[in-house]
Structure 1
Amino acid sequence: MKNFKQIAFGLMVGALAIGFSAFTTANSSSIKYNKDAKGKIISVSALYYNISGDPTSTDPDNFIFRDGTTPAACSTLSNKECQATWTTTNTPHNNQSPTDAGSPSLSSRGPVDKVYNGQ
């Protein structure tokens, strides 16, 4: 009987763990909305990919937005930058530059050993 109670307790704990994990999601979005105290969106920070291959580029027209996770095409090539975070006034759409999204400012740089090859 003691063994049965331990097994039942273990199954119950396992079921609870699985049940609660079904309601949690990982935030994998590359877009962050910056809001004021009233909840109004004042700017949007998003991850963009360098299409120029110039690791020192700060030109927003050399970057494009890709929704979702890092593209597999962002392959390792020495001395190339793949990604940077830009802050804009509007939410970007796929293949849009920070300039297209409005009033871009460079927020942060990504790893310097990757380049986006267009896929």
Structure 2
Amino acid sequence: MNNLKKLALGLSVGAMAIGFSAFKSSENANAKFAPQKFYNTTGVQSNDPLDYQYRPDGACESLPAAACSALWNHSGTLSEGAHPDGSKVSTTDAIGTYDGN
């Protein structure tokens, strides 16, 4: 009877581990790439990720008109000044002038 209890406990612990890992995997799969707004620091439309930076409080001023921001796919946690690590989603940049924030 003692071996039967140990077997049942081992099986239940294994089932719980599989159950929790299933939720963790699906969460990571959904968050793999998400479009985020990055600001163009050069003012010239580009496909180079080094020309774009993430600024949580960034904005585009309406004049003068230049390439200001674009949506890029990004994975992971964003920090201020980060460059996109995925592909560009926008075909053209939003027009305006990056305000430097």
TM-score normalised to structure 1 length? 0.52
- From 19, 27, 39, the counterpart of 1:49: 39
Give 3-state SS (helix, strand or coil) of 1:38's partner. Answer: helix
- From 48, 51, 58, the counterpart of 2:47: 58
Q: Percent identity?
A: 24
Residue 39 in 1 paired to residue 27 in 2? Answer: yes
In 1, the alpha carbon distance for the partners of 2:72 and 2:94 equals 15
C-alpha displacement at 1:97, in angstroms?
A: 1.3
Unaligned runs of 5+ in 1: 1-36
Greater relative CO (CA pairs within 8 A, separation 6+): 2
Aligned 1:50-89 pairs, distance under 5 A? 50-54=40-44, 56-68=45-57, 70-71=58-59, 74-89=60-75
Aligned 1:1-119 pairs, distance under 5 A? 38-40=26-28, 41-54=31-44, 56-68=45-57, 70-71=58-59, 74-98=60-84, 102=85, 104-108=86-90, 109-112=92-95, 114-119=96-101
C-alpha displacement at 1:110, in angstroms?
A: 4.2
Counterpart residue type for residue 55 of structure 2: R
Q: Is the 8 A contact 1:51 1:117 kept in 2?
A: no
Q: Which has the larger radius of gyration?
A: 2
Give 3-state SS (helix, strand or coil) of 1:39's partner. Answer: helix
C-alpha displacement at 1:84, in angstroms?
A: 0.5
Task: Decide which structure has greater helix share.
Answer: 2
In 1, the alpha carbon distance for the partners of 2:63 and 2:47 equals 19
Counterpart residue type for residue 57 of structure 1: S
